[in-house]
């Protein structure tokens, strides 16, 4: 047994001994989801709780109920991740039924629900982020192809769980619907024990649509366990079953927003008691650190920022006024044309001198074959001449690499790489970028388990890079902003000489 699996089993055992998610009820109540923000808590409970008589205590101290009611009646925003297994093991005779289920779901989506469509095999691909737009969602479904090799379901659920919380102070309920034919017991990646522990700690429901081409075979135990441990449901899709009958309706879920007493907001784990005239629900929940001083400090900071902005505006105005007074005192506004001409000539001479000096410096660098490294906020630059390429991280536009391909440039998660990407999905050495004998920029994959892609196509051999290409390294995408080729003699190839400016 691998060390990683031993550690996972140990974590699971400890979680049973010191479980912070203790939920039970006299009848049918179950905590499905909960999160805190400032001094508020949003709780989502399965069961029709009477919000007129319900009371909430936190460590035996009464909490104020701000709002509540059934999820379907309160127009609470619902964010559902549709996580589809596209591995080749998905029964061929059921694939059209799966796509039909997705299209039916999109056609009947409610106005307060947003969908995110994600596919997984050995890789995770977000086809469409959260939206209610039926056109965009249907277009994403049309791009689905069942070509994956493995069904790494635990990795997929673990890495696609969103950060749950209020949406601009409004309540928001999150869940995942997994559509798969079975779990893959892969020796790599996230284990089911690690996933179960995260689900228990996060109060995040996972619904499972188990796909089977058999009319009688039972559902795989790992799938039912996944839904059960997270508070979700498991439904089986079999041959001949209509997609409209496979519905994970959000009925009978009560939402309650409470304002917690300030005396308990110390960052510790507290016991919550929710009860009405017939039922009681108790569970442990971690509360934030928050006091009235936090609100005052936030308001003071906002007021300070506003005052600083006003001071800057006044200072700028005074500067302009002082400049005008100086011009009036010295008669700058009515300078003699001769003086103006002399100033212009002086500026031109200085500019010419600077250009000449820069050319000499550049020639010297070319002769010596040296690279000068220039640090810049938010960017990594290697300044020289020859073939130059500018890369930009698409999800962080301020992260830019300006590179000269005088030598092979390594891209990866290893800190020694010139293009260092600190992200778990990126290989230690993902790929290399270099200039061929003609100065043309080329890219070559170096990761066997996580192939590099250019414009969504895996590269099997060295490939030329051009402006606008998208390089995918794991889940990180780099954009080729510009390419400049300049020989040591000063002749220019692709593009004209581009000035690299930090944006």
Q: What digits encode the pLDDT tens for the residues 100-140?
A: 999 999 998 888 899 999 998 888 899 999 999 999 999 99
- pLDDT tens across 408-450, in order? 999 999 999 999 999 988 999 999 999 998 889 999 999 988 8
Percentage with pLDDT > 70 across the chain: 76
> In this predicted structure, what is the pLDDT of residue 487?
55
Structure tokens at 245: 């009958």
Q: Which residues, 6 or more positions from 397, have their beta carbon under 8 angstroms from its beta carbon? A: 503
- pLDDT tens across 210-252, in order? 898 887 777 778 888 888 888 888 988 888 887 777 888 888 8
- pLDDT tens across 43-54, in order? 998 877 878 888
> In this predicted structure, what is the pLDDT of residue 441?
95
Q: Which residues, 6 or more positions from 117, have their beta carbon under 8 angstroms from its beta carbon? A: 82, 84, 102, 126, 127, 128, 137, 140, 141
The residue with greater pLDDT, 193 or 73, is: 193
| pLDDT reading at 376 higher than 90 | no
Asked whether the beta carbons of 69 and 254 are under 8 A apart, the reply is: yes
The residue with greater pLDDT, 15 or 168, is: 168
């Amino acid at each position: 047994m691998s060390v990683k699996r031993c550690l996972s089993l140990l974590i699971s055992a400890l979680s049973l001994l010191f479980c912070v998610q203790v939920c039970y009820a006299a009848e049918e109540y179950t905590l499905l989801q909960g999160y805190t923000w400032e001094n508020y808590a949003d709780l989502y409970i399965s069961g029709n709780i009477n919000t007129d008589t319900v009371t909430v205590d936190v460590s035996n101290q009464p909490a104020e109920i701000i709002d509540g009611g059934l999820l379907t009646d309160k127009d609470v925003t619902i964010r559902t991740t549709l996580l589809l297994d596209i591995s080749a093991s998905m029964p061929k005779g059921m694939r059209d039924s799966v796509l039909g289920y997705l299209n039916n779901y999109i056609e009947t989506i409610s106005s307060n629900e947003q969908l995110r469509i994600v596919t997984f095999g050995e890789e995770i691909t977000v086809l469409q982020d959260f939206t209610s737009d039926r056109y965009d969602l249907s277009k994403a479904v049309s791009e689905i192809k069942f070509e994956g090799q493995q069904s790494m379901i635990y990795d997929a659920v673990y890495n696609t769980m969103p950060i749950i919380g209020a949406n601009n102070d409004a309540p928001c309920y999150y869940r995942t619907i997994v559509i798969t034919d079975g779990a893959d017991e892969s020796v790599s990646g996230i284990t089911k024990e690690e996933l179960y522990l995260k689900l228990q700690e996060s109060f995040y429901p996972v619904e499972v649509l188990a796909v089977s081409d058999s009319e009688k075979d039972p559902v795989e135990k790992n799938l039912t366990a996944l839904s059960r441990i997270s508070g979700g449901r498991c439904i089986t899709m079999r041959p001949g079953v209509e997609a409209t009958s496979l519905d994970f309706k959000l009925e009978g879920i009560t939402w309650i927003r409470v304002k917690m007493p300030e005396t308990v907001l110390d960052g510790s784990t507290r016991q919550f008691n929710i009860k009405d005239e017939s039922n009681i629900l108790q569970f442990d929940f971690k509360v934030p650190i928050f006091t009235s001083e936090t609100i005052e400090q936030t308001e003071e900071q906002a007021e300070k920022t506003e005052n600083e902005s006003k001071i800057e505006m006044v200072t700028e105005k005074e500067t302009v006024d002082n400049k005008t007074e100086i011009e009036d005192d010295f008669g700058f506004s009515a300078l003699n044309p001769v003086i103006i001409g002399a100033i212009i000539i002086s500026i031109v001479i200085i500019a010419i001198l600077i250009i000449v000096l820069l050319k000499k410096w550049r020639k010297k660098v070319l002769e010596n074959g040296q690279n000068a490294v220039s640090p810049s906020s938010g960017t990594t630059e290697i300044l020289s001449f020859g073939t130059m390429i500018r890369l930009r991280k698409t999800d962080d536009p301020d992260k830019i690499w300006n590179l000269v391909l005088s030598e092979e440039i390594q891209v990866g998660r290893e800190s020694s790489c010139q293009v260092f990407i600190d992200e778990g999905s990126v290989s230690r050495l993902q790929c290399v970028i270099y200039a061929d004998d003609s100065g043309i920029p080329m890219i070559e994959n170096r990761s066997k388990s996580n192939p590099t892609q250019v414009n969504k196509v895996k590269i099997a051999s060295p490939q030329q890079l051009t402006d606008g290409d998208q390089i995918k390294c794991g889940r990180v995408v780099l954009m080729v902003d510009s390419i400049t080729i300049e020989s040591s003699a000063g002749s220019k190839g692709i593009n004209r000489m581009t000035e690299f400016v930090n944006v």
